[in-house]
Chains A and B, each alone.
Chain A
Amino acid sequence: MNPRFLILFAAILIYVVAAMIADEKKEEATDAVIVIDQHTPRETITELHDSPKVKEAQKLQARPQDKVVSETITKELKEVLQTLPTLDHLKKMDTHDVHHTPVVLKESGVMIGKILQKAETDPSRRKPTLEFLLNCAEGKDYAPAVRAVCWNSLLTHISQWKIFFPVSKAKVPPSIKSLALKLQ
């Protein structure tokens, strides 16, 4: 039998089983909600609302496509994080390549700019983008200039987008914060 066909069949099977399990969970949670009516004592209603099954139902009742979009964005940003230039990368360059700003640094600036622009036009991307910027600023292996741009962009966009995002305990060293200030 064709191996590709086997792989495709296995993938379809896994998807179907996963969908069935999800449906089952949804039914169980929905069952908990249906129980409540005008005859149900107040204590029971409170208990039910606080029950894990109800909480799970509420989660599932959130639009499933939002969860998928959020996961897609997070995955996309994680992939960009993996391509950011590292200190090791810069240390391996020769004198001629480092005399002026290396091309890889400029390219990373373009990538970060694209992410910011996308979040500017699509508010659903803003929180994951701030997460990305923090990860970038905290990443001790990344090039200092890139970390500092991420830190500056993070602080700027928290106020611009008016989103709460804690930064007081960010693991960003003073030298990076000081460098970031040079953009002000």
Chain B
Amino acid sequence: MKHLLLATLATTLLNVHAAEDFGSIRFHSSVPELQSSALKEDLKYLFKTPVIHVDREFQQMTGLEKVDGPQMHNWIVNRVRYIVGESFQLENSILFQEGFKFPQTELPSLPGMEQKKESVPQGLSNSGVKTIMTNIGGALYLMGKVGFEFDNMVTQMLLGLDLDGKEVYATSPRIGILQVGEGLFDEEFRLNPELTAPSNSISRIATLFHEARHSDGNGRSTSFPHALCPMTHAYAGHYACEDVSNGPYSIGALSTRSLMLNCTDCSMEEKTALAVSTLDSFSRVNSGVNNALRLMEYQKAYTLYSEILQVGDTIIASAESEEEKAIIQEELNALRDYLQTLLVSMEELKSQLNVIPKPMDDTPEGEWTPVQIEKSKESMIKEISNL
């Protein structure tokens, strides 16, 4: 008895517990109790949420037969099978297996996805920042498919993780391994002080939908990578946008909108905050209307810099020394280069003024086993009735 008490105390203090299944998702032992409890409440909220207002755009994009709790939950569990915590040590858990035949399809355009020599793909290492949520399954699959350079040869390699003694290999982006962090549960991330308030659940579920989308796709759409936000965007220079109409930001936006519309317990403050979140996500979809605005900005910039260049000779003539002349000349050359870049971007934008971003094929490639609706429904009903 004394040993049992000591073990319980140690477990509580260390916040360590065994892996557990909940509603067809396996929670790794590295997920702290508070976080796994909150996520379980979120899954229950999603499963039980009454859908009075059906968002047709959401239904079309997710391909749901019917927009109801069990169907939405099933959509998630077909893309999220494992959840690991922020303290999960990727480097110590990574597995390699040769001989897997990846589909002979294109790779998506990804920054920094060159063949790497490191044993742990850099993009997956815990970088010390506060994690919200990341889809590491999709990244593992793609890194294995890109391959590694050994003795001047690129070899594809199936990557996997040891999850509490279970070997899980990324044979498809649908392997669905998500990592959650304290950022997702922080007080500053909440719309309501109460961790499991409906508005907070909606916010976290939307993040789940976003990350789950990274488990879809084939060829160029594998894992639905983000695109670079354009020059005039609020998030210019970051890979926090998308060029497709059915990517993670669109799915996240639509799920927020759908759940928000059906939230009977959300206050005006919470609904308005959810509305801002919805539109922030939509604003990251590069579209024709946004292209027109960007073209206007580029044209203004072009005119401005052209005027400076036109008086370039006069400016150089006013230089007081050779050194100053050189500095001015360097600056004018840089402006000329920049104008060339602007011209190219403007031509591209002119051809995209009427663009309505298209959806990409979301059928997942590789080998994976779907979770049938009856199974996911049964697993959730069991959890709810265990209360």
Contact = CB atoms under 8 A, between A and B. Distances in A.
A116 B268 contact: yes
Given A91-B234, A182-B253, A145 B280 contact: yes
Contacts, number: 112
Contacts of A103: 188-189
Interface in B183-204: 188-189, 191, 203
Interface string A94-117: 011011111101111111111011
B74 interface: no
A175 B277 contact: no
B278 A183 contact: yes
B234 A90 contact: yes
A178 interface: yes
Interface stretch (B34-42, B75-83, B236-244, B360-368): B236-244
Interface string B254-293: 0001000000000111111111111111110000011011
A111 B269 CA distance: 7
Given A100-B207, A149-B275, A175-B289, A144 B240 contact: no
Given A174-B289, A183-B275, A105 B280 contact: yes
Contacts of B278: 182-183
A152 B268 contact: no
A119 to B, nearest CB: 10
A134 interface: no
Given A98-B235, A100-B132, A120-B268, A179 B282 contact: yes
Contact of A105 (B130, B188, B253, B277): B277
A143 B274 CA distance: 15
Nearest to B239: A95
A111 B270 CA distance: 10
Contacts of B344: none
Nearest to A144: B283
B4 interface: no
B210 interface: yes
Contacts of B240: 95, 98-99
B129 interface: yes
Nearest to B281: A101
A98 to B, nearest CB: 5
Contacts of A179: 279, 282-283
Contacts of A108: 276
Interface in A151-184: 152-153, 173-175, 178-180, 182-183
Contact of B272 (A95, A100, A113, A178): A113
**Which one of A106, A108, A179 has the highest number of Cβ atoms from chain B below 10 Å of its Cβ?**
A106
A105 to B, nearest CB: 5
Nearest to B280: A145
A175 B277 CA distance: 17
B234 A106 contact: no
A110 B280 contact: no
A110 B191 contact: yes
A91 B238 CA distance: 9
- Top 9 A-B pairs ranked by shortest CB distance? A109-B273, A113-B272, A113-B269, A109-B276, A145-B280, A145-B279, A117-B268, A90-B234, A101-B280
17 contacts: A100-B210, A102-B280, A105-B276, A106-B189, A106-B273, A109-B273, A109-B276, A110-B270, A110-B273, A113-B267, A113-B272, A116-B272, A117-B267, A117-B269, A145-B277, A179-B282, A179-B283
